[in-house]
Amino acid sequence: MKNYITHDEWCIIEDGFHPEHNVITESLMSLGNGRMGQRGNFEEKYSGKSLQGNYVAGVWFPDKTRVGWWKNGYPNYFAKVINATNWIGIDVEIDGVELDLATCEILSFRRELNMKNGTLRRICTLRLSNGHEVEIVSERFCSLAHDEAGMINYAIKPLNFAGKAKVTPYLDGDVSNRDSNHGEKFWEEVGKEVKGSEAYLTMKTKKSAWENVPQFTVTSGMRMKFYQKTKEIDPVSLPVKKEKYIGFSYELPLITGEQTIIQKYTCNLSSDNHAPEKQVETAKKYLNEIYHLGFEVLLGEHTKEWEKKWERNDIEIKGDIAAQQGIRFNIFHLQQTYTGEDARLNIGPKGFTGEKYGGVTYWDTEAYCLPFYLATADSKVARNLLIYRHNHLQKAIENAEILGFSNGAALYPMVTMNGEECHNEWEITFEEIHRNGAIAYAIHDYINYTGDKKYLSEYGLEVLIAISRFWAQRVNWSEAKCKYVMLGVTGPNEYENNVNNNWYTNLMAQWTLKYTLESIEYVKAEFPERWKELSAKLNFNADLEEDKWEHIIEEIYLPEDKERGVFLQQDGFLDKELMEVDEITEHRPINQKWSWDRILRSCFIKQADVLQGMYFLEEKFSLEQLEANFDFYEPMTVHESSLSPCVHTILACKLGRIEKAYEMYVRTARLDLDDYNNDTEDGLHITSMAGTWMAVVKGFGGMRVNKGEISFDPVLPEGWESYSFRVGIGSELKEVKVNKEGFEVVNL
């Protein structure tokens, strides 16, 4: 755990440079606008530890799979949203000495992410090897109002000298992914163009071995403005051209005590949204418009967009600044990662803040993110997330076919960009099939929240039937148990693999089958024509399929220990040596300290598993059942998945264990800020941030929705004076305010 970020209500502040944590800070200070995103790297050269990252939404490359032992059914590639042209770069040399924070003396330093208006600001004073002292102030943002544009205002002030600066702003397409499987670079240059003080660089993803994989073209543009003593100046620009690189070099006189301001206006246009043959022309027009608006106007527009977002979705916590900062940090990053306007896009577990998980889609979206977007955005945003999976249905059917399933059974991928499976560890790819349950559950969640039953008939039911067909084929009848069993699976707890009868997976399979049958009845009754068409298209054999599904619903095996009153995570769970996390004497996380073998045999649980099921389907279980299971599993849970503590917060609140809930809340809300799991270097846990939001709204706020009816049952953690949040449901926006006296719900 780290503790170097200053607590503040609206800002994430690094006061004094911490080079040893620079890669973490770069993750924390990432910026984005749904269309593109980037890590909080420095503009000028930095030779210290850093992970350079600029990403363009929807632009990916099929990185050829690398595994030690190939298994039939493995995918050929892992689709990755790849590191793209670095558009923030500005190299600076002062009187012949290169400005590099790793080599010069740092006299003062402050880096600050302002979440209120989505800007990243850095102010530092530096002493160079020639004794020159200089102040650098940089500010940048990825515009929400113009979502293909990013702007930088970079100021140099000599403090004890007058001299010359050589400044080289550039666009660098010669970038790579640190996690590239075969050390391959993914981009090739299409062309570059210089026109006055404008430059354009067009890069294209390399042709891959797979015909069906699209190639993407990204055109980045830049244009510069300079000011001295508040007056615009027009220094001579010399183009600097290298392979995959275009820059300008400027010589600027520096006046003691005066700022020289360098403004860099940039754009990044992708062939996903623009015709590639006209991309440069389009970029020119786009950049021209941005450039003429100027930094202040653009910042004003951007700030307004953020004001709207906060007005709608802020959560205010009084009396606990760490908790306040934590929740805003989570909401901020969620909002700048996914805006929901484009059904082709989704939410990668790290968003645009790092390379891990490749920026692609996991079950996280349905299980964690959907509730956030349901309550905080127009319902079309959540609908788009569902449509994304509907669009991938055929591929999910093909994926199941590869594994030997038939008759339209669908297994959605564990990890995907275009609907194809990308994951390549058998115990997850083939076994972590519970993701199908989350995708089915999300359809229910959406309809329950919005009342949009038409969705069920038009799209949802088709997905449900395909998933149900999968479950019906994936179980088998056990003569020994006289029950349907599901063998060789991995539940949400990835710290045990290849287990039999993971309770959560079996439960979600049972639930899906039941919900699908109910949905068929509903669509038959309300949309008979559609049912006729759909059942014909799917070749649905009601007699055979429905009977079998009913039998499975009745007879599926759900392991439990009646004496303890707990459901068993899997058949063999009680054979393990049961210990509590507190008994671990070594340093944690165990996934970084223990052998995998030791982890697999231990009872320690990575993330909510049985408790995840009790959270999803809470109406099925009594409070006593919840309590018994919570008391059994919570002490064994190490929460080494970011997706875990939020579920425990919600359940602890339900049980009235507010202290425990608070402990879990802080863990989820400040997971990245305090680097609890020692992995923020890889990027932020964007999808679990939605879980943090749920921890407040569904946990402390006790919000539940039942067929479009919303209810609250709030509690106030000790130490908080008050908190408030807003949720939208139907056409209403409600504000919930909770304080020591009680709570009120205001219809806005």
Is residue 416 at the binding interface for ligand BGC, with CB under 6 A as the rule? no
Is residue 643 at the binding interface for ligand BGC, with CB under 6 A as the rule? yes
Q: Given the complex with ligand BGC, which of 151 and 438 has the nearer CB atom? A: 438
Residue nearest ligand BGC, CB atom distance: 349
Q: Given the complex with ligand BGC, which of 330 and 641 has the nearer CB atom? A: 641
Chosen residue from 324, 607, 637, 724 binding ligand BGC by CB under 6 A: 607
Interface pattern 567-606 for ligand BGC (x via CB under 6 A): ---------------------------------------x
Q: Given the complex with ligand BGC, which of 221 and 359 has the nearer CB atom? A: 359
Q: Given the complex with ligand BGC, which of 63 and 364 has the nearer CB atom? A: 364
Amino acid at 376: T
Pair of tokens at residue 627: 């309590």
d(CA 716, CA 723): 8
In sign, the C-alpha dihedral spanning 325, 330, 333, 339 is negative
Q: Enter the DSSP assignment of 583.
A: G
**Nearest approach, Cβ of residue 527 and ligand BGC (Å):** 34
Interface pattern 358-397 for ligand BGC (x via CB under 6 A): ----xxx---------------------------------
Strands (E), 296-454: 316-318
**Nearest approach, Cβ of residue 644 and ligand BGC (Å):** 8
Would you say 683 and 351 are in contact if contact means Cβ atoms under 8 Å apart?
yes
Q: Enter the DSSP assignment of 562.
A: T
Chosen residue from 492, 645, 683, 728 binding ligand BGC by CB under 6 A: 492
Is residue 357 at the binding interface for ligand BGC, with CB under 6 A as the rule? yes
Q: Given the complex with ligand BGC, which of 639 and 726 has the nearer CB atom? A: 639
Is residue 676 at the binding interface for ligand BGC, with CB under 6 A as the rule? no
Is residue 349 at the binding interface for ligand BGC, with CB under 6 A as the rule? yes
List own/partner pairs for 531-536 with CB under 8 A and 24 or more apart.
531/457, 534/461, 534/462, 534/465
d(CA 482, CA 53): 54
All residues at 6 or more sequence positions from 596 whose CB lies less than 8 Å from its CB, including other chains = none
Whole-number Cα distances in Å, 299 to 36, 148, 288: 17, 14, 16
Which residues, numbered 112-171, are part of the site for ligand BGC (CB under 6 A)? none
**Nearest approach, Cβ of residue 96 and ligand BGC (Å):** 47
User: How far apart, in Å, do the first and last CA atoms of the chain sit?
Assistant: 40
Q: Given the complex with ligand BGC, which of 362 and 531 has the nearer CB atom? A: 362
**Nearest approach, Cβ of residue 424 and ligand BGC (Å):** 14
Q: Given the complex with ligand BGC, which of 34 and 359 has the nearer CB atom? A: 359
| Secondary structure (H, E, C), 154-216 | EEEEECCCCEEEEEEEEEECCCCCCCCCCCCCCEEEEEEEEECCEEEEEEEECCCCCCCCCCC
Contacts with ligand BGC by CB under 6 A: the residue count is: 12
All residues at 6 or more sequence positions from 178 whose CB lies less than 8 Å from its CB, including other chains = 51, 355
Q: Given the complex with ligand BGC, which of 373 and 531 has the nearer CB atom? A: 373
Mark 416-439 as b/e (b = at least 16 C-beta within 10 Å). Answer: bbbbbbbbbbbbbbbbbbbbbbbb
**Nearest approach, Cβ of residue 475 and ligand BGC (Å):** 22
Is residue 494 at the binding interface for ligand BGC, with CB under 6 A as the rule? yes
**Nearest approach, Cβ of residue 226 and ligand BGC (Å):** 44
**Nearest approach, Cβ of residue 220 and ligand BGC (Å):** 29
Q: Given the complex with ligand BGC, which of 42 and 329 has the nearer CB atom? A: 329
Strands 163-172 and 90-94: antiparallel
Q: Which of 26, 421, 494, 545 is catalytic?
A: 494
In sign, the C-alpha dihedral spanning 687, 692, 695, 698 is negative
Length of the chain: 748
Would you say 745 and 735 are in contact if contact means Cβ atoms under 8 Å apart?
yes
Is residue 338 at the binding interface for ligand BGC, with CB under 6 A as the rule? no
Tell me the chain's radius of gyration from C-alpha atoms. Answer: 27
In sign, the C-alpha dihedral spanning 531, 534, 537, 539 is negative
Q: Given the complex with ligand BGC, which of 389 and 606 has the nearer CB atom? A: 606
Q: How far is CA 371 from the centre of its chain?
A: 14
Q: How many CB atoms lie within 10 A of CB 106?
A: 14
Which residues, numbered 266-285, are part of the site for ligand BGC (CB under 6 A)? none
**Nearest approach, Cβ of residue 505 and ligand BGC (Å):** 13
**Nearest approach, Cβ of residue 73 and ligand BGC (Å):** 20
The question of whether 744 is a catalytic residue gets the answer no
Name the nearest CA neighbour of 509 among 553, 567, 465, 445: 553
Chosen residue from 143, 271, 337, 687 binding ligand BGC by CB under 6 A: 687
**Nearest approach, Cβ of residue 538 and ligand BGC (Å):** 29
Is residue 55 at the binding interface for ligand BGC, with CB under 6 A as the rule? no
d(CA 615, CA 650): 8
Q: Applying CB under 6 A, which part among 67-75, 128-136, 285-293, 356-364 lies near ligand BGC?
A: 356-364
Task: List residues near ligand BGC by CB under 6 A.
Answer: 349, 357, 362-364, 492, 494, 606-607, 641, 643, 687
Positions marked catalytic: 494
